Amino acid sequence: MTNKINRRKFLINSSAAGLTASLTQPLQAKIPQINNSNVKPVVIASDNGYTMKNGGTTNCVETAFNKIIRGDDVLDALIEGVNIVELDPLDASVGYGGRPNADGIVQLDSCCMHGPKKQAGGVAALEGVKTPSLVAKAVMQHTDHHLLVGKGAQEFARNMGYAIEADLNTENSREMWLDWKRRIDPEHYLDPVKREIAGRNAAIEMISEGLIPKKEYYGTINCNGINSKGDLCGVTTTSGLAWKIPSRVGDSPILGAGLYVDGNHGAAGSTGRGEANLFNLCSYLIVEEMRNGAHPLDAGMTALRRIKENTIEKRLLNARGLPNFDVIFYIIDKLGRYTGVSLYAESDADTPFQYAVCTENGSALKDVEPLLSGKSS
């Protein structure tokens, strides 16, 4: 006959067994979590989070901040903020009107992370949807996956009710693609090596001629925020590298690269050369540094030094033997401390790299803290 144990005896026996086991096991040190319920809300983003308004009166960081202090979920607020940039045809690095790939097709990437819920979602090489950040959130909310790509991501978006546009190019993005195309393929040659070299050289020419800003060549907006309860979230969205090989995926939709959030310690996201960030998984590195007690500025500098140390190919080095590109990180810790850091102080246009921030004092652009002096060229 089977012995029956009532619930009360089971709980007592289980508790006693657990206590005995804990007394016989060696104690392991735990890294303390920061719990602060009196943080001042803040939203930070790449500079287009300040400059782009899509014909409205408020920008990305202002929109997100106002919703956060109203009590909205932090991630919902951030995504509503970046939607402004995704839908703005004047920003050629994100969403509608973003730089197309080598075939003239706009393919979009995005990911988001919810610190308190410990959830994440992303999409890559998504065509036809102007707001990939919303589809990334849908992946987080409605699937057991973290990343959907290409046709599968588009079909998922369709099933979730998102309109699929035939073409996300604007007149400007198509005109710049045609200009690039004419430069790289004047004789319709088929040599892939020549085509790759010509494509890179054409982009450099167009940047030097002022046809496109260098930051639009790499693209992207990252936006991170924290509320007064200490809830941390983040989102990154991009059209990716201008005129990229079709289906190329950079760092933006990859957890740990284009974005990483640990709700107990901090958030970090990036813009700039995605391949350099992907190789080093810098957003994850930054948050891990903050987990170990580093200030956001020190954590960011650690990541930038890692990129510098691992950049050794001659084609990626300037005349000084330093990286000929830039990467910028936007960082918040659990205490609400924030910063923006970059490899260099200035862009090739001799203007300082900046990031957007919104606090109780309003929104502003602030200069980033550079690892290296001068600029990448």
What is the Cα–Cα distance from 224 to 267, expressed in whole angstroms?
Answer: 7
Phi, psi of 76 (to 5 degrees): -60, -40
Neighbours of 40 (CB within 10 A): 12
What is the Cα–Cα distance from 114 to 242, expressed in whole angstroms?
Answer: 29
Residue with tokens 């941390």: 232
Q: What value does the CA radius of gyration of the chain take, rounded to a whole number of Å?
A: 23
The separation between the first and the last C-alpha atoms of the chain, rounded to the nearest angstrom, is 83
Supply 308's token pair. Answer: 């510098």
Look at residues 43, 51, 50 and name the one whose alpha carbon lies nearest to residue 74.
43
In the set 131, 220, 236, 271, the catalytic residue is 220
2 has catalytic annotation: no
CA–CA distance from 160 to each of 127, 128, 136, 191 (Å)? 15, 14, 11, 42
Inter-residue contact 234 to 90 (CB < 8 Å): no
- As annotated, the active-site residues are 220
